[in-house]
Chain A
Amino acid sequence: MRSRRLEEQIFKGLMIASLTLVLVVLAGIIFITIYKGAPALTLSMLTETPKGGYYLGKEGGIANAIVGSLYLGLGASFCALLLSVPVAFGLQKEYTGWRFASFTKLVLDVLWGIPSIVYGAFGFVVMAYFGLRASLLGGIIVLTLLMLPIMVRSMEEVIRTIPLELKEVSYALGTTRIETTMAVVLRQALPGMVTAVLLAFGRGIGDAASILFTAGYTDYIPRSLFDPVASLPLAVFFQIGTPIPEVQERAYASALILLLIVFVVSIVSRILSHRFSKHIVR
């Protein structure tokens, strides 16, 4: 009996140690980012674009990357949303047979798993084929592909939990598929769908590998879809790679800004999904 108790105690101890380790390390990531980034974060970092000699440590900021990332993230979220909503609705059995729906879900799972660098490589090849340079448009297209499976799968998870009976009472009133979908399914799934969009936005805005070749990098804020565009993840990556300490500090600041954006989006999504759940039937 005593040895059994001891075994229990040992493993419980190991578990607590493990969980503590995971949480401490992850908290450490956030701590390091804030600790290193906060001192380097100034107002001019946020509001100015790089000036002459910026990459040697002179004046300027990363407004180009902040705005660029927002353009990329918002543009791609919008495109992915337009495509995800019909797909997520279409996976219900009213629209699609069981086989095709499960097949599509598996395809989406595989797409979700594909590393972003592969999307980047694919995007680059396609753009080269059409003679497109690295541009805002290219970045948006590739990020849309990256976000699409995340959005659809998260939306579908929510839609699937809607009780069949709820749809039944709607159909029993003599509604068509699309009427039930828009009036009942959309309302019921709305909080989850908002979360899905913001989740995908957070993923997209933080991804560097996919836009490395497709969006390019520039010191200016893009004026058209065909201009290259800077982004925060790449700002971090390029600036940490220089040997000049002042520029490295700016990498820390850029990382902090990126982290803040991702956290704010994550928290807002939770608040919004709560707000939209007013009518939800449980």
Chain B
Amino acid sequence: MPHISLNNLSISYGNHKVLHEVSVDIPDSQITVIIGPSGCGKTTLLKSLNRLLDLNDDVSVKGNVLIDGVNTYDPKADVLSLRKKLGFLSQRPYPLPMSIYDNIAFGPKVHRLTQEQIVQQIRDLEGRSFQVPERKNGAMDVLVESYLRLAGLWDEVKDRLRTPASRLSIGQQQRLALARALAVEPEAILADEPTSALDPLSAQLIEKQFKFLRNNYTIVVVTHILRQARRIADYVIFLYLGELVEHGPAESFFKSPKDERTRAYISGEIS
């Protein structure tokens, strides 16, 4: 059973329908790319998965989203652990208003991990045992370092961990956001046009990270850049005007689209 599957999901803001009866299973341990023109409900679909939509006014959601078999929109669902399972990268990176170090440590601290849990988490991540430094917060230090390394940021920031995260460049901020999301041990990563605010080099770094991470995580990326979708996608979902037009493995999707609209979009006739 896949981690994430959508079942007849319809979403509207007030009277405005944004998504119309979308049903799809998102394959595990692959990069799933959601493409489509702007304003067709890509971001809404993504944010419906971890219920960030709750922050908007008068949103109504019909149908359901199953995360590990649990319906997200069940009133009894545990939203907090659900969100913990799904890491999130926003369009523009938003570092939390604290230091670089605290940005990573924030998640584990909020979830009140014990020393043993932190050590266990690092072991799981690094796949080896290690020595916990004999100082206050020693384990947390190692944890922060591990995740910064994982996001390819460690060498750039190791000397200024205590400086405000807002002083990093945008590209670095996005990698920090990735590290921060990974530090709460999610099973999947949801990314909403994660490279749209970045320069080409930083964007490339993020794409590389995704390809590296896909072995262990289910990754869902929203993008409106077709070339990016071709570069990174294992599986593609095409939304058009709130409707799920077509979905399938990347290769067949791009080579032999079944729907006329997909073909038109891929060839650049509609955008």
Contacts and interface: CB of A to CB of B under 8 A. Distances in A.
The reply, when asked whether chain A contacts chain B directly with Cβ atoms under 8 A, is yes
B201 interface: no
A204 to B, nearest CB: 29
A187 B166 CA distance: 13
B98 interface: yes
Interface in A171-199: 171-176, 179, 183-184, 187-188
Contacts of B82: 174
A168 interface: yes
A177 to B, nearest CB: 10
A171 B52 contact: yes
Contacts of B99: 279
A93 B88 contact: no
Contacts of A278: 164
A16 interface: no
Contact of A174 (B57, B107, B166, B177): B107
Contacts of B164: 278-280
A164 interface: yes
Contacts, number: 87
B90 A165 contact: yes
B166 A172 contact: no
B55 interface: yes
B1 interface: no
A188 B97 contact: yes
Interface in B167-211: 177, 180-181, 184, 190
Given A172-B52, A173-B110, A175-B110, A165 B184 contact: no
A171 B56 CA distance: 13
A164 B84 CA distance: 19
Contact of A184 (B47, B50, B96, B107): B96
B212 interface: no
B181 A164 contact: no
A179 B110 contact: yes
Contacts of B190: 172
Interface string A85-112: 0000000011000100000000000000
Interface string B119-142: 000000000000000000000000
Interface residues of B, number: 34
Contact of B55 (A168, A174, A179, A183): A168
Contact of A281 (B84, B88, B96): B96
A158 to B, nearest CB: 13
B233 interface: no
Contact of A168 (B81, B88, B107): B88
Contact of B166 (A94, A164, A173, A282): A282
Given A93-B55, A282-B166, A172 B50 contact: yes
A94 B56 CA distance: 9
B236 interface: no
B80 A187 contact: no
A172 B97 contact: no
Interface string B25-67: 0000000000000000000000100101001010000000000
Nearest to B83: A174
Contact of B52 (A168, A176, A187): A168
B106 to A, nearest CB: 7
A169 interface: yes
A187 B97 contact: yes
B55 A94 contact: yes
Nearest to A185: B97
Contacts of A170: 96
A98 B96 CA distance: 26
B111 interface: yes
Contact of B96 (A93, A94, A183): A183
Nearest to B86: A172
Given A165-B91, A279-B166, A171 B55 contact: yes
Q: Which of B97, B164, B181: most chain A CB closer than 10 A?
A: B97
Contacts of A179: 110
5 contacts: A166-B96, A169-B88, A279-B166, A280-B164, A281-B166
Interface of A: 93-94, 98, 163-176, 179, 183-184, 187-188, 278-282
Given A164-B55, A173-B84, A176-B80, 19 more contacts: A93-B57, A166-B97, A168-B47, A168-B90, A169-B94, A171-B55, A172-B50, A172-B83, A173-B83, A173-B184, A174-B82, A174-B83, A183-B98, A183-B106, A187-B96, A279-B97, A279-B98, A279-B166, A280-B166
The 7 closest A-B pairs by CB, nearest first: A172-B88, A174-B84, A187-B97, A279-B97, A174-B83, A166-B94, A173-B107
